[in-house]
Amino acid sequence: MIERLLSEVAGRRGDLIELTRKLIAIPTLNPPGDNYREICEFLRARLQRSGFATELLRAEGAPADSERYPRWNLIARREGIAPGECVHFNSHTDVVAVGSDWTVDPFGGEIRDGRIFGRGACDMKGGLAASIIAAEAFIACSPDYRGAIEISGTADEESGGYGGVAWLAERGYFSPPRVHHVIIPEPLNKNRICLGHRGLWWAELEISGRIAHGSMPFLGDCAVRHMSATIAEMEESLFPKLAERRTEMPVVPEGARQSTLNINSIHGGEPEPAKEYSGYPASCVPDRCRIVLDRRFLAEEPIDEVKNEIRSLVRKVAARRQGFEWELRDFYDVDPVLTDRQAPVAQAVDSAIERVLGCSPDYVVSPGTYDQKHIDRIGKLKNCIAYGPGVLDLAHQPDEWIGIDDMVDSAGVMALAIAALLREH
Ligand SMILES: [Zn+2]
């Protein structure tokens, strides 16, 4: 059975390549959210031919959903001959901006040296294509399976997933009794099982001062100086402390196996002049300064402590500076997610990797969040992992590519995992 299934997958190599190239050719750039309908229609036609029932769902009312840029999602489901559990593969269909320095057409799907090039090749149209081939190969081998297989193509992962997985999870699409096992084919490498991600807290710190003529700064209060004192304090006492805080979570790369803080942006004083304005600035003492904070935290750190640490740092600086007024605005936070290694979906992929690649998998945790957060928090489904072909470092880079052999191997792993999960029930 295993040999037959793997040869079914291997026999679909040409199909896998063509499917990946066709997905890359649909430029689903987000923002703004281009061509979601087109890619969903394409997936719908493909999966209907393979016997899937499909639902095309627009995330009406979700952030960024509009008449001009509707957030379309596709859910495809194929029932077996008897009721049972459902294995779901979830891929996001959006890709990030192309950027510069490409040497190939970003939507051309060029093939060279066993690789397919294009924006989204590894993140994550190659993984989506591999999961479709895996499901089709399994169905061809075991048409009489029990349970159900689902494949979804969802919007907006690159901008938080609110018009995709979050919206669907709120409507029960990622919870039992509909779905029991979820695999997200993000590019974590064909021999790695990703159990989750670190936590995240986004916030904005605004410090206000008092505007005055720049020739008499003593009549005003410079918010930029207050902010620079705050950042100096962070350099002095916060960054070294965060670097020392190590986690038991197997985060990759190694540098992310600690707490981190990124100062995402800084803005002080009057807004930047319009591009058409060719004159000089006016002389003012800046009366406000803002920074946006991107704090990534560990399973060992309670979110309240993460927030209090920043608050007390700012309070400490404020106490020694006259006129220092500040406000810390929470944008949002996401708890760390860590699926149990013994979860059935992790175990099924573990054995499948062993069979296909002849080695045991590495268990890893992602430095950044992805759609698993919504499946965990909203769907309340803990039996979820990320597993897919591709090298994470290539994501969002120029000349992004996916290895064809890696896709075939991953599709083999996915097919064996479906077989294991649906056979046992
Ligand atoms: Zn991705």
Instruction: Choose one of 279, 310, 334: the last residue of a domain.
Output: 334
DSSP 3-state of 27: coil
The DSSP bridge pattern shows strands 199-208 and 325-334 to be antiparallel
Catalytic residue among 8, 65, 94, 406: 94
Handedness of CA 57, 71, 36, 403 (dihedral sign): negative
Nearest residue to 390 via CA among 31, 41, 91: 91
Distance CA 349, CA 352 (A): 5
Q: Where in the sequence is the domain holding 314, given as residue range(s)?
A: 199-334
**Number of domains, the chain:** 2
Residue with tokens 């009312």: 61
Instruction: Choose one of 299, 334, 369: the last residue of a domain.
Output: 334
Asked whether residue 163 falls in the same domain as residue 243, the answer is: no
286 CA → ligand 1 middle, Å: 40
Confidence of residue 237 (pLDDT cuts 50, 70, 90): very high
Asked whether residue 17 falls in the same domain as residue 72, the answer is: yes
Concerning whether 393 is annotated as a catalytic residue, the answer is no
Distance CA 96, CA 122 (A): 12
> Tens of pLDDT along 296-355?
999 999 999 999 999 999 999 999 999 999 999 999 999 999 999 999 999 999 999 999
Asked whether residue 12 falls in the same domain as residue 29, the answer is: yes
188 CA → ligand 1 middle, Å: 10
> Tens of pLDDT along 3-34?
999 999 999 999 999 999 999 999 999 999 99
Query: Which amino acid is present at 289?
Result: C
Asked whether residue 303 falls in the same domain as residue 403, the answer is: no
Half-sphere exposure of 241 (CA within 13 A, CB side): 12
Nearest residue to 417 via CA among 351, 363, 322: 351
Domain harbouring 42, CATH code: 3.40.630.10
Burial (0-12, 13-18, 19+ Cβ within 10 Å), 323: middle
Buried b vs exposed e over 68-104: b needs ≥16 C-beta within 10 Å?
ebbbbbbbbbbbbeeebbbbbbbbbbbbbebeeebee
Question: What is the total residue count of the chain?
Answer: 425
Concerning whether 94 is annotated as a catalytic residue, the answer is yes
Asked whether residue 290 falls in the same domain as residue 363, the answer is: no
Asked whether residue 276 falls in the same domain as residue 393, the answer is: no
148 pLDDT exceeds 80? Answer: yes
197 CA → ligand 1 middle, Å: 13
Distances (CA, A) of 97 to 27, 119, 327, 400: 10, 8, 33, 12
Asked whether residue 83 falls in the same domain as residue 230, the answer is: no
Asked whether residue 341 falls in the same domain as residue 359, the answer is: yes
Catalytic residue among 8, 110, 150, 157: 157
> Tens of pLDDT along 381-400?
999 999 999 988 888 899 99
pLDDT of res. 425: 45
Distance CA 222, CA 324 (A): 9
Query: Which amino acid is present at 131?
Result: S
Asked whether residue 125 falls in the same domain as residue 215, the answer is: no
Asked whether residue 114 falls in the same domain as residue 217, the answer is: no
Helix-helix angle 13-24:126-141, to 10 degrees: 140
Q: Which structure tokens are listed for 15?
A: 């199909």
Asked whether residue 78 falls in the same domain as residue 134, the answer is: yes
Instruction: Choose one of 334, 355, 384: the last residue of a domain.
Output: 334
Asked whether residue 322 falls in the same domain as residue 368, the answer is: no
What are the φ and ψ backbone dihedral angles of 183, each rounded to 5 degrees? -120, 125
221 CA → ligand 1 middle, Å: 44
What are the φ and ψ backbone dihedral angles of 284, each rounded to 5 degrees? -140, 145
Domain harbouring 323, CATH code: 3.30.70.360
Confidence of residue 199 (pLDDT cuts 50, 70, 90): very high
403 CA → ligand 1 middle, Å: 16
Query: Which amino acid is present at 291?
Result: I
Nearest residue to 205 via CA among 268, 293, 312, 285: 293
